[in-house]
Amino acid sequence: MARKNSNDIMDKIVSLCKRRGYIYPSSELYGGLTSCWDYGPLGAELKRNLKAYWWDAMTNRRDDIEGLDAAILMHPEVWRTSGHVDEFVDPMVDCKTCKMRYRADKLAESTCGKKPSKTPLECGGELTEARNFNLMFRTFMGPIEDSSSTVYLRPETAQGIYVNFLNVKNSSRQKIPFGIAQIGKAFRNEITPGNFIFRTREFEQMEMQYFVRPSEDDKWFEYWRQERWDWYESLGINVDKLRWHEHGNDELAHYAKKAFDIEYEYPFGWQELEGVHNRTDFDLDRHMEATGKDLRYYDEQRKEKFVPYIIETSAGCDRTILTILVDGYDETEVKGEKRVFLRLSPRIAPIKAAVFPLVKKDGMPEFAGKVYEELKKQFKVFYDESGAVGRRYARMDEAGTPYCLTIDGQTLEDETMTVRERDTMKQTRMKIAEAVDFLSEKVR
């Protein structure tokens, strides 16, 4: 069912994103391009922080996972082997009445092009029979545009990891179980993109493939489910809005033996945020068969060779950004005025702290400027001296900045300043010399 209030909240978030420089419609000067979005100054910073947070958890803090950054364009045979050329399809229907196109399996969640309060099942439009549509974007490599030069924009980053399994294993000398992590763009010619950055045709994935002994797949599958759940919790996402959804046989991707999605309750309903999949030996087996290369792992201790099973954790970067924005968006009445707060975790907030002189006189701007210059060496901070301090706080609350540091008359006497926390709006006094330690503890 199309939800009544969902548009309202989503519209407010889209408008906040535009206003504060998080996300803009792509090519807006030209009227925009469906489902494409550009990250503005704060959005780019948030995205960088999110990716760094994931990368840190998945690689830097672990001895058993290596990083990779594979090319988007891969040999076209990779996608035939992986099954994407034949099986990466969605069933599509057309509405003969409003001429819109829908995913046949998502009609109950779609909105009619002419009557947005109704789904295509309810609006009375006549739908065609479903037919399959391949989601991969095609392009040509080199100057000749024919089938021999067709290449695909990768629809998932995972295959870049599989075809590098041997390279990474040999150069890193990792022993099973070990993983390879990658962040990168993926492209899918979605039939019905929508809900802002939830489903787009160009998006970023944060994927990790963990190679295990086949007999230990269930154990590692459960391990990674827990790890990924904990990661979202550590990001400050409200866990009451998270749940698991196990894929039934009719939902399982062609490569998966078992799959669980972490779902989030968006304003438009419960939807997938991340997938944890047991891909078995499907991918390595198929690449081995297609290339004739031996991708088996040799266990020196046990003197045995086997094709590892793969446990995959596959998160959407943009979808996580949407989750963070939706989860953090809050309207609260402050002194009779409705105010917007973006309650982002300090770990990923674009601006960690704002530095204000209380007033533009009595040496306060000079003092605040020095504090700002000092903090800037370590953190993304913002200096603002324009307007009443209350308005400056409000601007930072809406931009998601967790702390505001204010230099006032007392600062000049004892080198203390006020630290205002966005979420409690409480102010405490702190020695300026303690600010670096304070912010370090909060943001790292």
Q: At what angle do helices 6-20 and 317-328 cross, to 10 degrees?
A: 100
Among 66, 90, 109, 274, binds ligand GAP (CB under 6 A): 274
What mask, x for binding ligand GAP by CB under 6 A, covers residues 122 to 161?
----------------------------------x-x---
Which DSSP symbol is given to 433? Answer: G
Q: Considering only 10-18, 224-232, 269-277, 324-332, which stretch makes contact with ligand GAP by CB under 6 A? A: 269-277
Of 90, 109, 207, 327, which lies in the binding site for ligand GAP, with binding defined by CB under 6 A? 207
List the one residue from 47, 84, 319, 347 that touches ligand GAP (CB under 6 A): 319
Q: Token pair for residue 309?
A: 């099973």
Query: Residue 186 CB, nearest distance to ligand GAP (Å)?
Result: 7
The residue among 245 and 442 lying less far from ligand GAP, judged by its C-beta, is 245
Distance CA(11)–CA(196), nearest Å, equals 9
**Strands 37-39 and 23-25, how do they pair?**
antiparallel
Query: Percent helix, strand, coil in the chain (nearest 5)?
Result: 35, 30, 35
Contacts of 62 (CB under 8 A, 6+ apart): 179
- 200 makes contact with ligand GAP (CB under 6 A): yes
- Restricted to residues 157-176, the positions that interact with ligand GAP (CB under 6 A) are 158
Pairing of the two strands 23-25 and 309-316:
unpaired
CB of 214 to ligand GAP, least distance (A): 20
Q: Is the preceding omega at residue 346 within 30 degrees of 0, hence cis?
A: no
Name the token pair of 64.
């058993």
Beta strand ranges found along 110-268 (DSSP E) = 131-134, 138-140, 150-152, 178-187, 202-212, 242-246, 258-266
Q: Min. distance of Cβ 230 from ligand GAP in angstroms?
A: 17
- Per CB under 6 A, 283 contacts ligand GAP: no
Of 64-103, which residues contact ligand GAP (CB under 6 A)? none
How far apart are CB 183 and ligand GAP at their closest, in Å? 12
- Rule CB under 6 A: which residues touch ligand GAP? 156, 158, 188, 190, 199-200, 203, 205, 207, 272-275, 312, 314-316, 318-319
